[in-house]
């Protein structure tokens, strides 16, 4: 099954993804406290935000009623926000969010022109959306890292995170995609900070375009994707950013970044092999 390849383009304006108009979190209110999610939001506030965003209604349409929200502290500065169906047990877990306010700290500094004051961002440390009662099908096959099928609500949750980041006056949202398919699915909104990595993603999408996304990501996971030299390609997680402030958007939209992406894309060739060598 053919999967359209990614086209090189400037970043999509995050504000165009709109499910609601107001500052949702400003409207619902926030507080201060270590027992609150991100030190600000109570379980009740989060549940109301999920309801207002349409997330609860979407799950209700799947027959998933009586959802519960639970905040679990992991360390002094990090809490896990979990959404359960009917009762807080692992087999009923629908969603989990681990987010942190932080300053960008790339492994390798690129020519971003941000100076000494790096952007503050909302870092996604873990994000899980799943339907523990559903089964995988030929149309929705299992992807690496999955235990259950997804909920089909990633865009809605991303919109919620954008509102949250804006409410916190942050300059973007960051993420380290564990698998190729994570980066591919984020591609319309997130961009690799390192233009060489962005060019690599575009080259992979171009050269594996005859495969479905599931086939692409499993081929990479199983060592069946090779460089033109014959060397096995190994996926490595790296910094992705969804830009929200003007100076962060300027970096990704700039001629220097786009030229580096194009050069990296052109310099890399990949191929699929039927069996690992």
82 pLDDT exceeds 80?
yes
pLDDT bin (cut points 50, 70, 90) of residue 35 is confident
* Domain membership flag for residue 3: no
15 pLDDT exceeds 50?
no
236 pLDDT exceeds 80?
yes
- Nearest 5°: the CA angle 93, 177, 60 is 30
Give the residue, 23 or 231, on which the prediction is more confident: 231
Neighbours of 172 (CB within 10 A): 26
* Domain membership flag for residue 37: yes
Mean pLDDT score, 5-12: 46
pLDDT of residue 133: 96
* Domain membership flag for residue 2: no
* Domain membership flag for residue 205: yes
Look at the chain and report how many structural domains it folds into.
1
* Domain membership flag for residue 1: no
* Domain membership flag for residue 59: yes
* Domain membership flag for residue 255: yes
Mean pLDDT score, 243-266: 98
Mean pLDDT score, 17-30: 48
Q: How far is it, in rounded angstroms, from Cα 176 to Cα 125?
A: 8
| pLDDT single digits (tens) 120-148 | 999 999 999 999 999 999 999 999 999 99
Mean pLDDT score, 250-261: 98
Quote the mean pLDDT of the chain.
88
Q: How far is it, in rounded angstroms, from Cα 160 to Cα 157?
A: 5
Mean pLDDT score, 163-172: 96
pLDDT of residue 129: 96
Q: Give me the helices (H) in 4-94, please.
A: 24-28, 43-53, 55-60
Determine phi and psi for 266, rounding to 5 degrees.
-70, -30
104 pLDDT exceeds 60?
yes
Range of the domain at 217: 14-272
* 262 token code pair: 């194009």
Residue with tokens 């009923």: 92
The helix (H) or strand (E) run that includes residue 157 is helix 154-167
| pLDDT single digits (tens) 93-102 | 999 999 999 9
- Nearest 5°: the CA angle 257, 263, 265 is 100
Determine phi and psi for 238, rounding to 5 degrees.
-155, 170
* Domain membership flag for residue 6: no
């Amino acid at each position: 099954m053919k999967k359209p390849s990614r086209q090189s383009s400037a970043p999509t304006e995050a504000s165009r993804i709109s499910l609601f108009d107001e500052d949702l979190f400003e409207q619902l209110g926030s507080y201060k406290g270590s027992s609150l999610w991100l030190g600000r939001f109570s379980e009740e506030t989060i549940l109301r935000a999920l309801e207002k965003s349409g997330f609860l209604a979407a799950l209700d349409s799947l027959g998933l009623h009586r959802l519960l929200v639970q905040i679990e502290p992991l360390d002094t500065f990090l809490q896990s926000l979990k959404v359960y169906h009917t009762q807080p047990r692992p087999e009923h877990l629908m969603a989990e969010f681990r987010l942190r306010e932080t300053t960008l700290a790339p492994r390798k500094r690129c020519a971003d022109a941000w100076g000494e004051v790096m952007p503050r961002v909302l870092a996604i440390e873990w994000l899980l959306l799943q339907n523990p009662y559903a089964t995988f099908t030929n149309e929705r096959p299992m992807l690496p890292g999955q235990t259950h099928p997804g909920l089909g609500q990633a865009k809605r949750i991303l919109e919620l995170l954008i509102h949250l980041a804006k409410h916190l006056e942050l300059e973007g949202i960051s993420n380290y995609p564990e698998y190729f398919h994570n980066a591919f699915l984020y591609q319309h909104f997130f961009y690799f900070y390192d233009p060489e990595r962005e060019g690599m993603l575009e080259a992979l999408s171009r050269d594996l375009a005859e495969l479905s996304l599931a086939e692409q990501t499993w081929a990479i996971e199983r060592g069946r994707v090779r460089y033109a030299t014959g060397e096995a390609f190994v996926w490595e997680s790296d910094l992705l950013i969804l830009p929200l402030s003007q100076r962060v958007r300027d970096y990704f939209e700039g001629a220097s970044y786009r030229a580096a992406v194009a050069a990296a894309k052109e310099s890399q060739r990949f191929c699929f092999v039927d069996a690992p060598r």
